[in-house]
A and B are shown apart, each in its own frame.
Chain A
Amino acid sequence: MLSQMQRLSFEAEGRYASDEELRFIPEYLKTYELRLQTYQKLQELEQTVIQQVQEKMLAQDPNILRSGNVDLAPKWKRDAIRTWRYSAAALLMDDTETLRDRFLLWFQTVMRAFGAQKSCNATYATMQEVVKQHLTPQQASLFLPILVLNQRLLGSVQ
């Protein structure tokens, strides 16, 4: 939404925007209530979902959050919370472009630097499964694509 607004103000400078160019605004307004509801729900769910994701991941692979003798779980949790909050903001604003530019592209290089793509892939795949159990299908339809984006950018091996 913000990115689209910015682009519109840039592209339509000195003239009137066309109906086509303005279409994203009513479309956003149509989904605003649902976005706000989902955003608030995500805030409530933060701890629960991340806890469940962690448990599910460990059940599948007990060593996924370990590197040798080092327990990476606290760091993983901080990262997961941070990504969750950025994702919630992207959902509210309908702005995955900003999520990508301000956070994911940077975070991707950090995750690659630590060779964490495998755990990222598992994290955001599992998160999709867990989230489906807590959100209505409508809410999920807005949030799942964001988790897919996280999985694709953070979890893919080059």
Chain B
Amino acid sequence: MTLILDHQTPAKQQNAKKHNHYSFKDFFQFEPNKGTIVDWNDAQNILATEDFIIGLVEGLEEEVGEASAAIMYTIGCEWGQKDAFFFEKWFEKEFDRPVRQTSLMFLLETWWWPYTAQGWGRWEVDMGDRRQGFMFINLFDSALARTLGDVGKPVCHLYAGLFSGFFTEMVKKQLGCIEIQCYSMGETYCKFLLGGQERIDAASFWLNEGATAKDIEKRLRAGEMK
């Protein structure tokens, strides 16, 4: 049997083109009879507990050791890539205009809003260095980091993959992403660097040598490569 996912809350029935539909009641439709939670864009959502996140991260670590970071990153990449296609569809339906004819910052904010509503945290995109081929994303309240707590190393590989996959698809250019500061390292928020692979490799090298996010920003802005 195919499950038809069709979001039909009163808010949507009243005004399907309403853009500010991210409050809990507007965005999610709980269907206890069908056992589904369908969001405004007709995507199926599931609720996951913090125990689930801990189980996922620690279970994977136990299975594959250090490779778990790379696996989480790859999962994120595929997710981001798929979501870019999904996003294009709902964006064009909601705003009656192609994604490529839209202000970039507005597009990005719109992409991230469902994630905010779903509990993945708020973000802030810093495009100040875009011309040099890299940019930073600050993430507040990472679901992974806030669950795992202070473990002394970056844990948001899933997000890094998500950003890499999504942006790669959107700009049609291979972009990597690395978390250079994490709430789980005792910082107040997480910070990601997005850019070409050579920059990501350089940042990764500096990070292993003990550089802070600020050092990495400085070095990149100075045009340094490892």
User: Residues on A close to B: CB < 8 A?
Assistant: 98, 101-103, 105-107, 109-110, 112-114, 158
Q: A109 to B22, alpha carbons, bound, how many Å? A: 12
Residue of A nearest to B108 (CB): A113
Nearest CB in chain A: distance from B18 CB, A = 10
Q: Which of A98, A101, A106 lies in contact with B19, CB distance below 8 A? A: A106
Q: Which residues of B lie under 8 Å from residue A114 when comparing CB positions?
A: 103, 105-106
- Say whether A107 contacts B105, CB under 8 Å: no
27 contacts between A and B (CB under 8 A): A98-B23, A101-B23, A102-B20, A102-B22, A102-B23, A102-B26, A103-B20, A106-B19, A106-B20, A106-B22, A106-B113, A107-B20, A109-B109, A109-B113, A110-B106, A110-B109, A112-B105, A112-B109, A113-B103, A113-B105, A113-B106, A113-B108, A113-B109, A114-B103, A114-B105, A114-B106, A158-B124
Residue of A nearest to B25 (CB): A102
Q: A112 to B33, alpha carbons, bound, how many Å? A: 41
Q: A103 to B26, alpha carbons, bound, how many Å? A: 12
Interface residues on B, range: 10 to 19
Q: A106 to B20, alpha carbons, bound, how many Å? A: 6
Interface of A is mostly: helix
Q: Which residues of A lie under 8 Å from residue B23 when comparing CB positions?
A: 98, 101-102
Nearest CB in chain B: distance from A47 CB, A = 22
Q: A109 to B112, alpha carbons, bound, how many Å? A: 10
Identify 16 new A-B residue pairs, CB closer than 8 A, beyond the known A102-B20, A106-B113. A98-B23, A102-B22, A103-B20, A105-B22, A106-B19, A106-B20, A109-B109, A110-B109, A112-B105, A112-B109, A113-B103, A113-B106, A113-B108, A114-B105, A114-B106, A158-B124
Q: Which residues of B lie under 8 Å from residue A98 when comparing CB positions?
A: 23
Residue of B nearest to A106 (CB): B20
